[in-house]
Amino acid sequence: MSLFYKVGTSVLRKLPTERAHITTVKALRAGFGPKANAQAFPELAVNVGGLSLPNPVGLAAGFDKDCDVPDAMLDAGFGFVECGTVTPKPQAGNPKPRLFRLTEDEAVINRMGFNNKGLDHFSERLRARRENSGIIGANLGANKDSEDRIADYVTGLVRLWGMSDYFTINISSPNTPGLRNLQGSTEMDELLGRLSETRAKLSGDSPSYPMFLKVAPDLDFSDVERVVEQARTYGLNAIIVSNTTIERPDSLTSPHRGEGGGLSGQPLFKKSTALLQEFSDAADGRIDLIGVGGVGSGAQAYAKIKAGAKAVQLYSALVYRGPQLVQEICEDLSARLKADGFSNIAEAVGTA
């Protein structure tokens, strides 16, 4: 990491967590972001869910909720960037403080509650960058006070159709009461059925935009096969494993370990990777997987890939390891592929 970004990361970590995040986004909008070539390692190019990615390292949803800096993050070297979660109407989210660094554990707890500026702002930001290259996804959610949450997902899909390169259906955040109920069998049938029907109408005779499903790490292993089959039944292109966890490992030592919300970062790596392996076994190559949770190094990204993920996403690790992390991970992945005798990243998928 360059001295400039090392010092910048250190300064930001002295600010309150949410203030540091807001400051980071403002700095990125002003052009103070790292520059890296996402295509520097051709062997890392991969196709995931119908998307051709220059490398398999993506930015997870939550960092850029309002689609304010997607191109700055692409410029940092990410192979793809997922913005959101966005809801139809703007909402303030939960009361502050709601974002906590667990420095001793290299973790983060958030109970943000889908704070965002809504679809109007989000669509304007996507429209403003439509001539730019790079893969940008929209992570869709539901308003907390919505009387028909499934309708909120349909609204997001319709409003952003033709602007986003792919859509992620986020039903796994623990910070909107009752949202995870949509992971149930009956509820998921209704949700994915309505979305599938809407997508078919929107695409017509044209190619459809990919649609992904993001699940919780707290999902019971007995539900994995059912979720895979439902995702395939309704034509989804990939499953993202996984969101933040409501569990608190005994290993946590930070004074903030008791805060409510979703835990992310290093303590989530083992749990999320075990669930990813279960999904890989159940999917058996029939649907693509994206691994999320505790990715903070090339070794951890490679472990997710070998467990069955075609791509990975990260966010919390940026808090502790700085904005050049994505470049470091790509360099490490390239070296690991060569060491193991693989000519490209696809050959390593699921070889654990």
Give the residue numbers annotated as catalytic, written as ranges: 173
Q: List Cα–Cα distances, 45 to 52, 87, 143, 279, 317, in angstroms.
A: 7, 32, 36, 23, 22
Nearest residue to 332 via CA among 309, 294, 292, 303? 303
Which pair of structure tokens corresponds to residue 23?
Answer: 């400051």
- Location of structure tokens 């790292």: 34
Cα–Cα distance measured from residue 318 to residue 326, given in angstroms and rounded to the nearest whole number: 9
Surface-to-core class of residue 165, CB atoms within 10 Å of its CB (0-12 exposed, 13-18 middle, 19+ buried) = middle
Across 18-31, b (16+ Cβ under 10 Å) vs e yields bebbeebbebbeee
Asked if 150 contacts 190 with a C-beta cutoff of 8 angstroms, the reply is yes
Q: H helices of the chain, where? A: 3-12, 17-29, 70-75, 118-128, 149-160, 185-203, 224-233, 269-283, 298-306, 316-321, 325-339
- Location of structure tokens 């159709």: 161
Cα–Cα distance measured from residue 41 to residue 188, given in angstroms and rounded to the nearest whole number: 38
Helix (H) or strand (E) holding 1: none
- Torsion from C-alpha of 61, 185, 350, 347, nearest 10 degrees: -70
CB atoms under 10 Å from CB of 298, counted, come to: 19
Cα–Cα distance measured from residue 60 to residue 341, given in angstroms and rounded to the nearest whole number: 29
CB atoms under 10 Å from CB of 189, counted, come to: 13
